[in-house]
Amino acid sequence: MENYYRQTIGSPVVTRSGETLTIVRDIIFDHETGKIVGFLVTKGKNLAVTPIDILRWNKSIFIHDRNDIVEIEEVVKLHRAVEKNISIYNKKVFTKSGDYTGKVIDYGMHGTFFELTCLIVAKSFLGLIFWDRKIISAKDIIEVQKDRIIVKDLVKPLKMQKFQVDMAPLTQ
């Protein structure tokens, strides 16, 4: 199942017994692997849920109990990713050739494997009017930098030229 960033932010973190503990405020990636290393939660400044502790992820994130919410410093991968402070949402996307593709307005993640699946990118005016929307596969990402994401050069549409095709009648 694929989950999306904008649907996940604000989602409740719920125990197996049904108790809502907190909500998700951000998603932290290891930008070298494209894997989610944690979900930052609102309860406390440096608290997160790691993927290994998640029982199920759909409209809510289900965990065993409140002990599955850990301090960021306790998990090395999570701590390193938070220190780098590189987000994906709202980041500018450029092709390898340097063409501006737009900003990330959402992104998809695999709900079982906890990895980035795609970027949803669009150009915008004042963040209100969007056009030229594209879905870019995570496989096409070359590099995630502090200020931008570099993707493979995309296929550019060509203008159709007027041409004539001789259509011979089908013979049976």
- Assess if residue 167 is contained within a domain: no
The 10s digit of each residue's pLDDT in 44-58 is 678 999 999 999 999
Instruction: Return the pLDDT at 45.
Output: 76
pLDDT above 90 (res 149): yes
20 lies in the same domain as 79: yes
75 lies in the same domain as 98: no
97 lies in the same domain as 61: no
71: domain CATH number is 2.30.30.240
12 lies in the same domain as 80: yes
Instruction: Say how many domains are in the chain.
Output: 2
The 10s digit of each residue's pLDDT in 43-94 is 767 899 999 999 999 999 999 999 999 999 999 888 888 888 888 999 999 9
pLDDT above 80 (res 164): no
Q: For residue 160, what pLDDT band results from cuts at 50, 70 and 90?
A: very low
3-state secondary structure 134-166: EEEEHHHEEEECCCEEEECCCCCCCCCCCCCCC
Q: List, in sequence order, the alpha helices (H) in 29-160.
A: 76-84
- What are the contacts of 112-116 at 24+ separation with CB within 8 A? 112/1, 113/35, 114/35, 114/36, 114/51, 114/54, 115/33, 115/34, 115/35, 115/36, 116/29, 116/34, 116/35, 116/36, 116/88, 116/141
Instruction: Return the pLDDT at 31.
Output: 82
Domain that holds residue 35: 2-84
- Assess if residue 76 is contained within a domain: yes
The reply to whether the predicted model has a pTM over 0.85 is: no
57 lies in the same domain as 119: no
**Mean of per-residue pLDDT scores for the chain:** 86
